[in-house]
């Protein structure tokens, strides 16, 4: 992987962790997802028009199918992620979500496709499992047997994180195919997919407009932050995919877990910060080992 691609991924990881912290603080649901998608559509309209005015009219069935698939997968991913943030801590949900995709991909390849794995790859799997153990509370789970509420909160975060990770892996493959094989513009893949997201999320707002208006007044600042910075993070990753193999870019994105565990744990005051930071580091190292092994 080139230094340019690595630099793009590290910067994207920092931005990605920051907007996830904002989303966690907002405590929103599908309506918050609509707010951020709608604002994203407005904020980035000039750039989207400038780049797409001559390109989009020439798109065929493949390009539009990829945009539709990307939009749908991103909606499901985002709604599940937001629900996880409402049910559990960011320092549980986020590392689980970011580490699940590469781990599942490797296990499927070994079990179902008969692929071989090196000692480094096995070490990577052990790192991810160990990181999950620490994030879940590690030995503290045994000491916390008297606190079923706290234990259930951690378990819910793990479940939502894993499901979110499945959809992260899914949209990464779709978008990676779009920019690497079909040679679509990374900016247009994300921006045009956002129209799909707005359309799919609109019913969540229209069902109860008075409540949506109330939520808008309390959440619009967080939604605006997500709308402004989240496309930057993802487009940087898509550009990196054009310069480096997808199998390297996807695991390298997990550096964002370190930022989220460190910054998020401090800002949000979530417990077990040291254990969760170590867990995030183990997952990140394990994922990188999986990529190399």
Q: Which of 61-75, 92-106, 211-225, 233-247 has the lowest mean pLDDT?
A: 92-106
Tens-place pLDDT, residues 47-69: 999 999 999 999 999 999 999 99
> pTM of the full predicted structure?
0.77
Q: Which helix (H) or strand (E) holds 15?
A: helix 3-26
246: nearest Cα among 175, 191, 147: 175
Angle at CA 280, nearest 5°, toward 276 and 286? 140
Mean pLDDT calculated for residue range 94-100: 75
Taking each helix axis from N to C end, the angle separating 209-243 and 30-43, rounded to the nearest 10 degrees, works out to 60
Alpha-carbon distances of 147 from 85, 91, 93, rounded to whole Å: 20, 19, 20
Tokens of 166: 């499945």
What is the chain's mean pLDDT, rounded?
A: 80
Q: Which of 15-24, 104-113, 168-177 has the lowest mean pLDDT?
A: 104-113
Burial 242-255 (b: 16+ CB within 10 A, else e): eebebebbbbbbbb
When pLDDT is cut at 50, 70 and 90, the band that residue 157 belongs to is confident
Task: Return the pLDDT at 71.
Answer: 95
Mean pLDDT calculated for residue range 257-269: 62
CA–CA dist 138, 128 (Å, integer)? 13
Tell me which DSSP letter residue 264 carries.
Answer: I
């Amino acid at each position: 992987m080139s230094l340019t691609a690595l630099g793009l991924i590290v910067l994207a990881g920092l931005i990605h962790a920051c907007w996830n912290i904002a989303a966690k603080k907002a405590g929103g649901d599908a309506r918050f997802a609509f707010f951020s998608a709608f604002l994203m559509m407005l904020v980035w309209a000039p750039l989207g028009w400038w780049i797409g005015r001559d390109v989009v009219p020439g798109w065929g069935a493949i390009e539009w199918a990829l945009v539709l698939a990307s939009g749908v997968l991103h909606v499901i991913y985002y709604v599940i992620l937001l629900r996880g943030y409402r049910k559990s801590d960011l320092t549980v949900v986020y590392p689980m979500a970011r580490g699940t995709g590469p781990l599942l991909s490797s296990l499927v390849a070994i079990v179902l496709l008969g692929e071989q794995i090196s000692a480094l790859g096995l070490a990577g799997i052990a790192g991810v499992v160990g990181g999950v153990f620490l994030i879940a509370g590690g030995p503290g789970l045994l000491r916390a047997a008297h606190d079923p509420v706290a234990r259930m909160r951690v378990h819910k975060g793990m479940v939502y994180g894993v499901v979110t990770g499945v959809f992260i892996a899914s949209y990464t493959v779709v978008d990676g195919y779009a920019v690497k094989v079909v040679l679509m513009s990374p900016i247009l893949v994300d921006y045009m997919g956002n129209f799909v997201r707005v359309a799919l999320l609109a019913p969540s707002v229209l069902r109860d407009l008075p409540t949506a208006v109330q939520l808008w007044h309390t959440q619009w600042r967080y939604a605006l932050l997500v709308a402004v910075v989240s496309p930057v993070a993802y487009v940087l990753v898509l550009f990196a995919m054009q310069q480096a193999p997808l199998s390297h870019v996807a695991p390298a994105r997990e550096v964002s877990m370190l930022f989220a565990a460190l910054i998020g744990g401090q800002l949000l005051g979530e417990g077990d910060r040291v254990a969760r930071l170590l867990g995030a580091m183990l997952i990140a190292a394990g994922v990188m080992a999986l990529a190399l092994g």
